[in-house]
Amino acid sequence: MKIHHIKMYKVPPRWLFLKIVTDSGLEGWGEPIIEGRADTVRTAVEEFAGYLIGKDPFMIEDHWQAMYRGGFYRGGPEVMSAIAGIDQALWDIKGKFYQAPVYELLGGACREKIRVYRWIGGDRPSAVREAALEAHKQGYSAVKMNATEEMHYIDHFSKIEAVCERVAAIRDALGGQMDIAVDFHGRVHKSMAKVLAKELEQFHLMFLEEPVLSQNNEALREIARVTATPVATGERMFSRWEFKQLLQDGCVDVIQPDLSHAGGISECRKIASMAEAYDVAVAPHCPLGPVALGSCIQLDTCTPNVFIQEQSLGIHYNKGGDLLDYISNPEIYRYHQGFIELIREPGLGVQVNEERLAEAEKGCKG
């Protein structure tokens, strides 16, 4: 069996789907995307296609190494996202050929279900409260919310108080029934991040996400000293070499590699194994589409230090398209009491509706 051709679809809200077709007719799907740079990633995939056409699709590790090491310059978000989508599609092909979900090819399941959380956002305490209550009614037991607007290096304490008011609104409404993660989005400088982390400790959060930009990860040492709340980061880190120093520093509790950004299933599997050796948990980043989430679920199923999975159903980014809009088997993403069942279909287990993709692509501008 050989790789025959590659097809891509750019669709709303900001997604890029990739199909790899073999000469036997077997197909695999991936999501190679860095948000806002779909065309750049598409070009990177097209450049890799010259290498891939005619190759054996089963030699996944060899292809990964060739794509990563084959040029003088390595890594970066666009290149690693291109490799990620290709890697996902190759695993999808291999699983379909052997009539097994990908996790079975990676050692088998280590759990029967996977905990998920949803984003709630909201700028005002009342909005956050209502969104959390709605999430609770939907069966979620964990949510994530934005922490704050951008802060200056030293800023007014009133901004810290505003964050605490929003978190308090959820605690007042639901008590300990809802775990809460607070995402700083790298909008806060080290000086104020320490203040905010200390003030938020009273709410016993699930984790603080990206309290500083990943370029400033050395600041996590100081933040970890002022709070017992778990610190999470990693959505803007793209290979095991970027995670290496972070793990060695011992100042992170949760890493969040994105399987559509950080080299796909193959690379994120290695990143998660590195984290396990440092006693660090994994919560894969995934505000993306159904193939990206399917890839995460496959990895989650066979990775012991994964404890929760982000997913994008109903997220504010998904204007013009949502998680279930481009697949024919939406039942795989039904959530019950805050968990999702394993996907047991072959490959990634995601049945992409290609006709819907082709129709959506006609109106996609971004």
Q: Which residues form the catalytic set?
A: 185, 285
DSSP assignment, residue 202? Answer: G
Sign of CA dihedral 80, 144, 281, 217: positive
Say how far apart CA 354 and CA 56 lie, in whole Å: 24
**Conformational region of residue 86, where left means phi above 0, alpha means psi within -120 to 50, and beta covers everything else:** alpha
CA distance 343 to 103: 9
Q: How many residues can be counted in the chain?
A: 366
Q: Is there a contact between 358 and 52 (Cβ–Cβ < 8 Å)?
A: no
Strand-pairing partners, residue 306, are: 282
Q: Measuring CA to CA, which residue among 254, 266, 351 is closest to residue 308?
A: 254
**Distance, CA of 96 to CA of 174 (rounded, Å):** 43
